Amino acid sequence: MLRKPAALITGASGEIGHGLITRLADDGSRTIITLDLRPLEPELGRLVQHEFAGSILETNLLERILSEYEVDLVFHLAALLSTRSEFTPVTAHQVNVEGTMNLLEFAQKEGESHGRPVVFLYPSSIAAYGMPDLDTKARAGRVKEDDFNTPSTMYGCNKLYCEQLGRYYARHYKQLSAEPLAGKVDFRCIRFPGLISAVTVPSGGTSDFAPEMIHAAAQGEPYA
């Protein structure tokens, strides 16, 4: 008996995860499973078949998910954000790069197992860009995808590198093997600007002051 395909959402308790879970539940074509350090709010948890509590660095946990579900769609939202990454760059590399590598390898194994590519959605960031000074920024005008890919933050470095990792898994994975293994991961990526969180209050991002101000105003509280 064929298993119903599943969507895996890492970092599901954040703002994007809230919207994704609701949308996928309305669609109903996939089982929804999540992986996060924090539990979901009860009303969201009811829409999910299984909440896995843990880290994307726990490869044994990923192996368990691999054995129990047929995942054909991954939303990899888990990350250590920009401000926290500057204070703890080694930890940021572990979570943002090694964690992403674990998820890409997970998707590769899933793709090899059930014979079709796993769609891997990766939210990158405009932190992948970097300009040497404000004068250059003022002259640059509209910036293309491949322009100024010289990030100056750990978070930006992590995101840019993981974009390249995704391209490698999609197009060049183990390219010296006797049999072609690339194409099992359908990697898709978008560089987001700062996101305004309507439901959740974010933490750890450089631009978090904006949604924090909005949330405070909505509750009639001062913001300092």
DSSP assignment letter at 193 = -
Q: Are 123 and 205 in a shared domain?
A: no
Assign 171 to helix, strand or coil. Answer: helix
Q: Domain of 62? A: 6-195
Q: Is residue 1 part of a domain?
A: no
Q: Are 169 and 142 in a shared domain?
A: yes
Span 10-25, average pLDDT = 92
User: Which sign, positive or negative, has the C-alpha torsion 51, 52, 55, 57?
Assistant: negative
Instruction: List residues bridging with 123 in a β-sheet.
Output: 190
pLDDT tens profile 31-71:
999 999 999 999 999 999 999 999 999 999 999 999 999 99
Instruction: List residues bridging with 124 in a β-sheet.
Output: 191
Question: pTM score > 0.85 for this model?
Answer: yes
- At 138, give phi and psi (nearest 5°): -65, -35
Q: Is residue 133 part of a domain?
A: yes
Q: Give the CATH number for residue 58.
A: 3.40.50.720
Span 144-171, average pLDDT = 97
Provide the number of structural domains found in the chain.
Answer: 2
Q: Are 212 and 158 in a shared domain?
A: no
